[in-house]
Amino acid sequence: MDPYFQGKRVIVTGAGKGIGRLLCIKLAKSGAKVIAISRTTEDLDNLKLEDSSIEIHTQDISEWSSTRKLIEDIGLVDMLVNNAAVDRKKPYLEIKEEDFDYIYNTNVKAAFNISQAVVKCMVEKQTGGAIVNVSSIAGINAVHSIGTYGCTKAALDMMTKTMALEFGPHQIRVNSVNPTVVMTKMGKAAWSAPGVADTILKRIPNGRFAEEIDVVDAIVFLLSDKASMINGIHMPVDGGHLLQFF
């Protein structure tokens, strides 16, 4: 248990797998009341089996109206983690309109919609709070074949800054974490092959990709009172990946 998180209400999107799942478990063990949102019921059911205290909601957050209603029904929370994200790994010339909309609707539009609903309640109740957006170093440096995904993360980073600027006077802090490749199930499938991995690993001074817990620990720190004077930053969780131009 962590006294700071005891009884705090936290929404986590993309809670069914990877970073989101591990974050839910860690926050629940710290004493928080976790509200987990995912579009996959089976993943949420498995999460509930692991920790019965976690409240679960199946929702495709790319659907604006039904998502807004869910967040309004959940009511006042102390913290929000916009973790859900999708991608279709294609070069620019192969991206179609439906690909673009699919990626933007989840990675940007949904984060805006959910944050707006959460913050409105925080402001009305004058409670303050903390939000962490899970971004990527792909929003800072260009990465081949994930340009559309990178654009959404750059948009999320600017959303982080503008939200921090507007909501800071209401004692609502907004920050982002920007990981390098993370060894989630999807990350392992995409980047574990030696020929593929070596190209990126040679650019990371720490010599390894991030693990899920590396990102989770950074998120928990930014949510906590230890980060009470940190607002509007993009925190690379990248082992120094962004340091090298060549």
Among 14, 15, 25, residue whose Cα is nearest residue 217: 25
Q: Does 8 participate in catalysis according to the annotation?
A: no
Q: Are strands 234-237 and 172-179 parallel, antiparallel or unpaired?
A: parallel
Which residue of the set 26, 153, 202, 226 is catalytic? 153
Asked if residue 168 lies in contact with residue 228, where contact means CB atoms within 8 angstroms, the answer is: no
Ramachandran sector of residue 2 (left: φ over 0; alpha: ψ -120 to 50; beta: rest): beta
Q: Does 153 participate in catalysis according to the annotation?
A: yes
Which residue of the set 69, 149, 202, 226 is catalytic? 149
- What is the dihedral sign for C-alpha 22, 23, 25, 26? positive
Secondary structure of residue 180 in the 3-state scheme: coil
Catalytic annotation, residues: 149, 153
